[in-house]
Amino acid sequence: MIESLPRIPRGEYPARWERAQEVLRRENLDLLIAYADDRHTYGAAYARYYADVPVCFEPALVLFAPGEDPKLLVGPETVGYAAEVGAVPDIVALREFAAENEDYPFTELVPLKDVAAGRGIRRLGLGGLSLMGAEIYESIRGAFPEAELVKMDAMLEPLRGVKSPAELEVIRYAYRLANLGMGAALAAVRPGATERAIAAEAEYAMRKAGGEGTGIDTIVCSGPNTRHILGRTTMRRVGKDDLVLITVAPRYEGYHGACARSVIVGNPGQRVIDSVRAQVRAQNVCGENLIAGRVGSEVEALGRAVMAEAGFGENFLYSGLHSVGVIEFEPPILGPSSRTVLEDNMVISVDIPLFEADIMGSRTEDGYLIVNGRPERLTTAPQLIFK
């Protein structure tokens, strides 16, 4: 039943606010502002995590002052929706977020400088600084001209790494959607099918089962379209001897699942087949070693070693392990330079890439939950697929 699907309970949000308060105290901040917008991949994270508001059209700020519940600062067209669905009851229509050529005669628009008037802001923490446009940044700078601005993402993002029981239930369901989407996509792969038709089957299956969208666009690439990391889905038709790369990343209640498979159609060549087999070996050695207490980069190195031994070490072009949550690939990112230690109740995606090679590119990605110190695989699709 749709009514029984998991959700994050309202009682969980005050605990999140308290963790933000701990950051304020530790960093000696007079104010903390976390920015959010509707950018597809990263934008909504702070508003969804702290306020359960799916940002749309207008940006949002979550404002924390020491010892107080947060305020949600939004544009005038967001106020009613945020009050209905969100977890933060104190909502302010911010003048700076009103569309320049629009009139809102029945909404009180409050300038940002008035929201925290009289507080004597000396140190102001900013989350999401890299997402802000110049106009919004200048509005914040102008509202608090004497304040030292402190970039806070490196302190706020790790707070999301270890998941609560409620988060884990929601993420499990997101991975269920990923499994449904991948199953539908795999069933649609055949010579002559277009990439977009295959993607449409995946997205339909995920939407029908409760998906609210995707963390990244569904990727279905075939043949020469697979060579680059940022492959885009086109109207190319799958050939009779081809490789089809599929990546699905459904979003459910703000959280994500992710799965990628490289489908061998006919005979695209022995070296291509060998490369996918190597990816599967690398995937599994990393997955088996996602053990609480281990350093994540040391686990990732095991996968790199497998790919290097197979002759594809230089095609492992990005960090192969990352957390999954309100961003599809969010910190901790467990690449070679990371020293993050794995913990229970982390959800880790193992993403083994092969791109910018002299053969077709590919990716194998599975999600794991670390529970009772050991990995539990959340993705169910077969890893080596011949069509």
Tens digits of residue pLDDT in 62-92: 999 999 999 999 999 999 999 999 999 999 9
> Is residue 197 scored above 60 in pLDDT?
yes
> Is residue 101 scored above 90 in pLDDT?
no
Cα 289 to Cα 272: distance, rounded to the nearest angstrom: 26
Mean pLDDT of 205-234: 96
**Letter for the amino acid at 258?**
A
Residue found by looking up tokens 């890299």 in the block: 130
Cα 276 to Cα 94: distance, rounded to the nearest angstrom: 51
- Cβ-based neighbour number of residue 20 at 10 Å: 23
Could you tell me the pLDDT band of residue 110, with boundaries at 50, 70 and 90? very high
Share of the chain above pLDDT 90, in %: 95
> Is residue 34 scored above 80 in pLDDT?
yes
241, burial (CB in 10 Å: exposed 0-12, middle 13-18, buried 19+): middle
| CA gyration radius, the chain | 22
DSSP letter (8 states) at residue 245:
E
pLDDT recorded at residue 120 = 87
